[in-house]
Amino acid sequence: MLEQAGLVRTERRGRYKLHTIDTSPLTQIAERWPDRKAPS
């Protein structure tokens, strides 16, 4: 599921399967997220 969402990349090296987290989609979401305002 994370691979399909583009958050994790996998690479096969022989019998090993390596997973790499790609945070760029999360960064784009965080930039659009409204900022919290400090309580007055």
Longest dimension (CA), the chain: 58
CA–CA separation, 31 and 23 (whole Å): 12
- What are the backbone angles phi and psi of residue 27, rounded to the nearest 5°? -65, -40
CA–CA separation, 3 and 38 (whole Å): 36
pLDDT at 15 (0 to 100): 96
Give per-residue pLDDT as tens, 10-40.
999 999 999 999 888 788 787 888 777 766 6
pLDDT at 4 (0 to 100): 84
Q: Letter for the amino acid at 25?
A: P
pLDDT at 35 (0 to 100): 76
| 5 and 24 Cβ atoms separated by less than 8 Å | no
Q: Letter for the amino acid at 20?
A: T
pLDDT at 19 (0 to 100): 93
pLDDT at 27 (0 to 100): 81
